[in-house]
Structure 1
Amino acid sequence: MTLGKRAFVLIFPVVLAGYVLAASLLYFSQSHSILGLERARLWQQLGLLGAVFENDVTKNKSLIYSLVEGNAVRLFVSEPDASYRSNAIGVLMQKNVKSLSEDATRFVSLAIIRPPLSVDFYYENSQDPFAEIPQAQLLHARSMIDSPKLSGWSYIEPEGTSPLIVHSQFLDPLTFNQPVSSAKDGSILIQTAVLPRPFLDMKKALEREYGAKIEISNHPLTAKGALSATVRLGPSLHARLTPPPGHLDAKLLNLKLLLAAGAVVLSLFTIGIVLVLVRRFITNPVARLDKQLMEVMSGRRRELAPSDEAGEIGRLSANMKQLHDNVVESFGLVQSASWTDTLTGISNREHFNVRSNQMLDGARRSGTGCTLLFIDVDNFKFVNDKYGHKVGDELLRTLAPRINAIVRSVTERRELPEALVARLSGDEFAIMVQSNPADGTITEISRSILGLFSDGFEMLEKSYPVTASIGIAIFPDDAADLQELLANADAAMYQAKAQGKNGSARYSRSLHEKRTRQRQIEEELQTMRPDDEMHLVYMPIVDGRGKVSGCEALLRWTSPLLGRVTPDEFIPIAETTGLFSKIDSWVIDKAMSQYGQIRRLFGADTVLCINISSAELYNKSISDRFCDGLVRYGIEARSIEIELTETYAVKLGDLSQRNIDMLRSKGFRISIDDFGAGYTSVQQIIDYPAETIKLDRALVESLTNAAALPTLRAVIALCHAQDMQVVAEGVDTPEKMALLAAAGCDLYQGYLISEPRTIDDLGLWAMQRLIEQAREKSPSSKTGAARKASQA
């Protein structure tokens, strides 16, 4: 057997087995990827279906709100003449319904019902002028009349017609406001119904695409199998789509056939190339060398031919050189891959560290400067959570080349050395520029990068609400090495965030001092004993008559080393270092131990409000701490209100949601603090699991003027619609309190009422209020007031 045949017999099975193994591994990987992508797409499609449904629900709520606020319904209800009401005012109401409908061809209906179940008016935008209210809608009206709820919506499916979204709201026929539960029998029920055409069209399209019906149930649904998805359409409405088991079989079969054919074709192609190369570079040279050796051994020739292409030594040398070149090239490719960020294609942290140190060494030798720009994308987590990681990755993938193009354009135009642009981690980027700090290069680069976010970041034909904060540190003015330069640029970046984001800041001495103080606060927190250095003050909360209905416990810290440290300083540090748990435990125990004094001052119905860190929501023991305090100090759970910042809802996870549900199930009240200070949306207001909403003082400041009174009323009405009590913070003038009262606010808190006081000072304040109230009620006080009025 020749050397070529032996090579074929030995190499072909190995090559074939290798390709078969590679194809099998690739099939295993790709099948899982296909399943994962299809599952993610299915969840995304159902998420979009839920969003479309929520949009239809919101439009229907807006419709009934607009109708109730208008004059037509008010005239209809108050008109005693039934004939005039049905004809003239009925026509007016029909026009009103049509004018408020965005689509004139869309099905919309309005019904006015009086308990127990008398339909005074019904109109629907359809081809049937004698249409009557569907039986399913009447059944929904009956359930609303029999239930304690004053408003609500439902998804009904009338027999023989398309499903409808029905929104119901009870109104007092005299005041035209929402009645109290006890006066519900004398009220009227306003119902609007819309045909959720976008939802039904999308539902039908999904069912056609996946070959399965979408299940809609009033009970929670769970995904069935590997390829199944659910979505929550409302508080008690859920949907599930489960494609048939063979949905992906066709794709997987095509993948199998493609990989099998590829393995065979690549095996034959590879072995053919290998045999040609073996014969050209191994078999023939060896045969020629063997022939020459035989000729030498037989005496037919004295020496081997010169070792160029024909000689064995020459061929071995050429092959070794080629092998070395291949190894060097492969090493370069591996090194380049290890220094490149896989998501954005620019340098990664490792390459940045190596090249930056080289640039700093060069700057140190030449006596020139280097500037580091540390960039962080503001609100990136918000976009990532709201739009998904796929959008977040695409944002970073789009941003990196734009930053790179800006830096390259500026440095090339100014004839500067090539700058280094790298992604350090997550949404953090760094730029190392070799330039004179005073030549305007850094200013131009910073402004150009910030200009990318001037009107939101444009990507995929959509604008996303992200900005950038840039920290700038200069070598050697601000740091002596790369590690210190990075730390100082990072500190400057946080300073830019503190200045309002979408800006830049240069590292300064004040930043250094701020970082030093933060480090000192962290060190003091680690050794601090709360009983020795911390105390609580209380800020009363009153109703419209001035009666104290609750007290909010506020934490104060006076350090022997640092003096008075504000909560705005030490609470974020405590959260980031994991020390918040010790502080919150002390606050909970201390506040509950002093509740007895508060109850004696203001009555048994007084509520104690306790702030806890948002990070505590991820602590499984938070419920046990509060329950232990109830037992230890003999307090009822309804007397404790746990205050959470409204921004917690943006990042609410499963564990934190379970903890909140557990606290509420045990009777504790939940309050959303600083409402209006974060990314609040109308949907989040609807979904908040809370009894109380506290309007942030900044929101109160901006809305307590005559021009903003309708907006303030709408915000408070929306909270009331969710059965939430509204507390206004920052009430410091009588004018603000009057406007808040006119808007329907329930409770008030601020320096107009009282500043934060210790428990002892709170008792003196309560006593002083009692004396003042007694004076106001005394006859002499009234006589004196009358005398002064007559003199005036």
Structure 2
Amino acid sequence: MRLERRVHYILLPFIVVIFLAGGLTSYGVLKERRYVQYEQLLRRDINSMHNEIGLELRSMKSYLSEILNSNEFVRFSIERDSQYQAFTLGAAAYGMIDRTVKGTNVVSIYLTDQQGRILLSRDDSGPFDEPALPEQLSGFTESALKFFNDSTKFDDLGLFFKPNPETFHYVLARSFSPRRLQHDVFGQAKSDYMVAMIIVNIESFNHYKYELIGDLGTDLQFSFDPVISNKPYAPQEVTMQVNDDSAIVATINTDYYTASVKVPESSIVKSLQDSKAHIIFFVVVASLISYVLLWLAIRQVIVKPINELASRVKQTDELDGSELKMMDGDDEVSELNNAYFQLLGSIQQIASFDSLTGLANRRSFEIWLERHLARQAQQQNKVALLFIDLDKFKWVNDHYGHAVGDRLLREFGARLREITRTSDMTAFVSHESIARLAGDEFAVVLSDVQGPEAACAVATRVIKLFESGFWVDGITHDVQASIGIAMMPEDGHDASTLLKHADVAMYQAKANGRNRYEFFTKEIAESIRQRDMIEVLLKDALSDKTFELAYMPIVDLDNGDIVGCEALLRCPSLQQQGIGPDVFIPIAESTGLIKKIDLRVIEQAFVDYLQLKSRGFEGYVAVNISAVELRNEKFVGQLCELLAHYRVPAHKIHLELTETRLISPDQDAVAVLEDLQQLGFQLVLDDFGTGYTAFNQLMHYPVSGLKIDRSFIGYCDNPQKVKMVEIILALANVYELNVVAEGVETQEQAAYLAEQGCQYGQGYLFSKPIPFDDFCQKLEPGKLAAG
């Protein structure tokens, strides 16, 4: 991930987290302050309400005292004549009461005897209604009468109550003696007392309730529990508590009532909605502004210098460092630039030059050659490329060790530089134009040459280095050089083409006897073109599945029965151009296509065998495989998968390895062959007798049969050839191997081979390679035999 993207991914969340944490903290502080504000507001208003209620109660007691001490009420109270009391003094008493309570909060006034009988009633009932105390006060009246009766003194008793949900009343009951009121003396008989009751509307409750609702919201919850009390009304403290549900509960406990107000958390949160919106807005805006400002600062101070450094590094042309310069700054980017510049110089040396010889390596040489050819083409100069390969160098490594081989290569590189620096050179040679391409392969570029003569001169000097062997560390090694030469513009204009053509010319020099040089020619070009064409057609045949198999019968020489057949590969697209397996198989091996072709042939042979078996055929099918498969680690596993898929008995498949193409016996090759033998395949040496290591292979490879090459069968009248056949048959008898003679074309050859003990044969005497359907027709009843 690029630095800019990482900065985006880190910076924005980081800033958002910081401001979000700040916003949450601010919101928490505001919420705590709001709790404090609400607590202060509740304490203030509840205390004010309590004080206002006290004032209302004192006023009520004042009203009652004024009434009880008036002449009208005293005369009414002490009068014993009820008729006179009711009709004469009652009117005066009612008038006095009305004058006293007019404009006040007094709701009603009652005068009762000790049993609670109403003697005087001033309330809002109708004139014809029977005087009665409010139903809500029945319990209070009973308690008050009992309290006064049990008391040893005159006293007051009060209670708050609610006549309806929206109204608060307070009732005050006072015991008194009319005589005491009149004469202000003590010691009168207790039986003389009366009870006066006054009911007042207490407006402070609702006033402060609505005031709190207006201040704190409609979600407030109020509770009020009245208490009957005769104690003086005194100030009380308001207690505050925050419940588990984060609600504020303010409570005041008095001798007259217990009241509480609960402010739920939702009310507090609702009151902070505007503040919350402001905080969110601030967090978003501050985050964006801070992000933009910080990003611009980081981009200018950090990202931009790093991007400029990265751009210079990218624009650096390969390893020359042309876009990089040393910087004088003491910041990290300058240090990184300078460190990279120094590192690039070291890497350039390592990456551009061969560590053993000090010459340019293949990678740097190809880069330089591509540019060099372009410059020379613009100047219309000729260029010669010499591709040099040391012959028999592997022999030096195998016999003297790699250390000696390395010293030989180092010495040859030094001498190659010397012979290309001589004053009589007719071409320009720079230090970059000599390279070690790989192993024992070297290249020399001659610039601005007049013709092939300059290339011939250099090539001759190289070959002369090996005239008497190559002397290293007191030992003369029998090493030679094969050189291929390609010219620009005649043989190509780009590096890859010129190298390829010089390489091909070098192989032509090897084929023509080694220790010589060859120029790339039209004939060689045609060979390359044909090779490329064959490779393309082989790939197409693999992709389109157009390969075909022809089958050549293998017969018992004693009775002529068909005991098996050999599957022979055919490529119709190449066959139309007269190109057979002898040409395209080596190309397939060199390009690596042979591995896919072998699998395709074996799989088709399995399919055809199953069809032959369904027709009653009990023989075997022989399939040729490339010696390349002995180096293919996947080959055995792939054959296992094919056997499991097609359920073909492995012993009915003979795998033939061409003896002339086999590699020298080694542990890996033998292990592969032994694995194939363990699977049940029969291993056969093909074209036996034509290779240099035939008998060596016979001893080391776990084979079960061999095929005598056709070159021996065709000359049975030649004593030397005949003796070779007899020797091969004798060896096969010693090793208990089955023998098939190839190329049997006459009855005389078949008879001779049968007489010498050769079991089987194949050739044009019996049949040419034929399509699968034609081979099936040859399997006539009575001619089938097991192989």
Q: What's the TM-score once normalised by structure 2's chain length?
A: 0.45
Q: What's the TM-score once normalised by structure 1's chain length?
A: 0.45
Larger Rg: 2
